[in-house]
């Protein structure tokens, strides 16, 4: 429930603290005093859109904070825990909003800054606000359907219908796209097929190009390899008159002999000996290389041809030759995917048919649930209308199901199906004996619509899990015995939940367990609104004012006492 509301520099409020009680709280005040200002402030704490004019003139910012007790509100506690926003030492939930004069806004939950959307999410679990213009909405088919669904409380069925509708819509979108691009894909398929066949025929293997490139370079430089290798062998070891190995061996033997005389030459002797061994090994390896060098002209012709083809194909596809193999695989995969499109189209058509069948079955179940709820709700609203000074009032909820033959074309099905099911809901009323039921907006006046709307709100309030209900001047256009019945209904509602009601009716105001009075005063330069909790004696004065206006008489005071006593 709502415990406290703190308002700083909001509209014409400079500073205001309101402590709220359980049960029913009524808010009254003079016309233009700003009776709904606390509700407006609460709305901002719950995530309503803020504008710059909400900040009090000559102030830098407006600050609003609402404190709720969530000890018995399991849904709110679970939400706070899920978002890591629970207070460690308290079950309270504090929603805070700061709005700058420039229009910038910050939102906080239990001291942590959060996105505005999170204020809205937690707010839906804490408070349900009914506004004075709600009766203007109930003539709309979408709102009528929403009210029936709220009463029926069949969210799993609604979610199921919505799921199949979204799946059906997604499949149709994919099918349309595939069908629209079929001709374009066919041209692409033919090109891919040509490219894949060409690369299949060439059949370059993994790492083959690197080997081809190496073989091509070797054969291209064949004569140079032969001549230079032979010349180097002669110089190293095979020239009988003069070769490096003989000279180095002689030098190494000479230095080794001297090292026996002077050991300071040991290191030089060791280096020369190692060098001789390494050159000898190099000479042997070079000889083997020369002997095994295979430079067949016929093999070179084949290598050159394949190497050139690889270069041409790479250039044709604007990539490096090393990437030809991976590119070939990608083209094959793309060709396979395009070739599978026809089978995908057939599969989608089959999926659409099945999904439409599932949707139809779920929508029928949802319709059945709505019909059952509509029957019960019609009886309750009829009874409530008669209690609210419409003695001959009859209320009926007509539910017509749109035609939805599952064999229809996608175009026809799309016209009938929606995420909300197949039902068209129409609230119908009769207000006079013998009068047939007709659409509510055709036969009900504004005042009658207000009473019907209020009856619905009170009935549906029992189905709402939020612990606080706010009624903001929903009793407009109501008076006399009807107003007394409205007050009684709201008081009954307050036995199970916290009810806050902004009203101008004494018959409603007197039913509150707590009554707040909104007043406005000015010093000629500044205007300010104050909210005061009325004592028992002050309540008598305020109820008398609501009954008689500014001229309060003994008779109106007596009437006020009688209303409060009842």
pLDDT on residue 407: 45
Using alpha carbons, select from 159, 150, 143 the residue that is nearest to residue 425: 143
Q: For residues 62-70, give the mean pLDDT.
A: 94
pLDDT score, position 410 = 47
Q: Phi and psi (nearest 5°) for 450?
A: -60, -45
* Residues paired with 14 in a beta bridge: none
Position 238 confidence tier, pLDDT thresholds 50, 70, 90: confident
Whole-number pLDDT of residue 406: 44
Residue 228 has pLDDT above 80, yes or no: yes
pLDDT at 268: 92
How far is the first Cα of the chain from the last one, in angstroms, to the nearest whole number?
A: 26
Q: pLDDT by residue (tens digit) across 464-495? A: 667 888 888 766 667 778 788 888 888 888 88
Give the integer Cα–Cα distance in Å for 359 and 341: 26
Which residues of the chain does CATH 3.40.50.300 include? Answer: 1-126+466-534
Per-residue model confidence (pLDDT) at position 190: 80
Q: Is the Cα dihedral 535, 540, 546, 549 positive or negative?
A: negative
CATH for the 1-126+466-534 domain, from 3.40.50.970, 3.40.50.10810, 3.40.50.1860, 3.40.50.300: 3.40.50.300
List Cβ neighbours of 438 (8 Å cut-off, separation of 6 or more).
428, 429, 430
- Average pLDDT of the residues in 240-247: 85
Residue 417 three-state SS: coil
Q: How many other β-carbons are positioned within 10 Å of the β-carbon of residue 71?
A: 12
> How big is the CA angle at 135 (ends 133 and 141), to the nearest 5 degrees?
120
Residue 439 has pLDDT above 80, yes or no: yes
Burial 461-491 (b: 16+ CB within 10 A, else e): beeeebbbbbbbbbbbbbeeebbbbbbebbb
Residues 560 and 505: beta-carbon distance below 8 Å: no
- The tens digit of pLDDT for each residue in 177-219 reads 877 767 677 777 788 888 888 888 888 888 888 888 888 887 8
pLDDT of residue 251: 92
Q: Give 414's contacts (C-beta < 8 A, 6+ positions apart).
A: 172
> 18 near 4, Cβ under 8 Å?
yes
User: How many Cβ atoms sit within 10 Å of the Cβ of residue 494?
Assistant: 20
Laid out side by side, the sheet with 2-10 consists of 13-19, 2-10, 61-69, 92-100, 105-109, 112-114
Average predicted confidence (pLDDT) for the chain: 86
Query: 55: which DSSP letter?
Result: B
Asked if residue 99 has pLDDT above 50, the reply is yes
């Amino acid at each position: 429930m709502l415990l406290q509301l703190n308002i700083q520099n909001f509209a014409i409020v400079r500073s205001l603290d309101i402590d709220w009680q359980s049960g029913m709280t009524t808010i009254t005040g003079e016309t233009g005093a700003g009776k709904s200002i606390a509700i407006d402030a609460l709305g901002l704490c719950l995530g309503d859109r803020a504008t710059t004019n909400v900040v009090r003139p000559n102030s830098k910012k407006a600050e609003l904070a609402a404190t709720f007790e969530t000890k018995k509100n399991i849904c709110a506690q679970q939400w706070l825990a899920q978002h890591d926003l629970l207070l460690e030492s308290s079950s309270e939930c504090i929603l805070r909003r700061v709005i700058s004069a420039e229009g910038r806004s910050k939102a906080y939950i239990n001291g942590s800054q959060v996105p505005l959307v999170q204020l809205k999410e937690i707010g839906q679990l804490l408070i349900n606000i009914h506004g004075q213009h709600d009766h203007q909405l109930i003539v709309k088919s979408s709102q009528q359907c929403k009210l029936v669904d709220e009463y029926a409380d069949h969210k799993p069925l609604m979610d199921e219908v919505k799921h199949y509708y979204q799946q059906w819509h997604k499949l149709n979108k994919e099918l349309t796209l595939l069908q629209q691009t079929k001709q374009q894909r066919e041209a692409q398929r033919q090109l891919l097929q040509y490219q894949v066949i060409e690369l299949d025929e060439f059949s370059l293997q993994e790492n083959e190009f690197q080997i081809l490139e190496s073989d091509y370079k070797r054969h291209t430089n064949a004569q140079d390899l032969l001549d230079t290798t032979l010349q180097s062998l002669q110089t190293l070891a095979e020239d009988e008159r003069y070769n490096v190995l003989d000279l180095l061996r002689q030098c190494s033997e000479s230095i080794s002999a001297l090292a026996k005389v002077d050991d300071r030459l040991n290191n030089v002797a060791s280096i020369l000996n190692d060098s001789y061994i390494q050159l000898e090994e190099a000479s042997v390896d070079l000889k083997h290389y020369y002997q095994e060098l295979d430079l067949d002209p016929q093999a070179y012709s084949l290598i050159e041809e394949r190497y050139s083809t690889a270069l041409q194909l790479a250039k044709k596809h604007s990539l490096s030759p090393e990437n030809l193999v991976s590119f070939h695989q990608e083209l094959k995969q793309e060709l396979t995917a395009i070739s599978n499109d026809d089978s995908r189209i057939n599969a989608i058509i089959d999926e659409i048919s099945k999904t439409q069948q599932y949707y139809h079955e779920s929508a029928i179940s949802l319709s059945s649930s709505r019909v059952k709820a509509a029957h019960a709700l019609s009886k309750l609203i009829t009874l409530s209308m008669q209690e609210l000074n419409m003695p001959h009032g009859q209320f009926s909820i007509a539910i017509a199901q749109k035609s939805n033959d599952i064999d229809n074309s996608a175009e026809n099905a799309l016209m009938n199906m929606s995420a909300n099911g197949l039902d068209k809901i129409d609230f119908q009323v009769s207000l006079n004996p013998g009068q047939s039921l007709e659409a509510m907006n055709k036969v009900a006046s504004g005042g009658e619509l207000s009473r019907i709307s209020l009856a619905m709100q009170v009935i549906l309030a029992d189905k709402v899990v939020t612990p606080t209900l706010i009624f903001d001047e929903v009793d407009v256009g109501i008076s006399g015995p009807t107003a007394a019945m409205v007050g009684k209904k709201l008081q009954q509602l307050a036995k199970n939940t916290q009810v806050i009601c902004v009203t101008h009716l004494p018959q409603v105001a007197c039913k509150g367990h707590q009554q707040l009075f909104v007043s406005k005063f000015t010093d000629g330069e500044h205007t300010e609104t104050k909210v005061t909790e009325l004592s028992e004696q002050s309540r008598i004065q305020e109820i008398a004012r609501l009954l008689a206006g500014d001229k309060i008489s003994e008779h109106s005071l007596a009437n006020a006492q009688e209303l409060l006593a009842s």
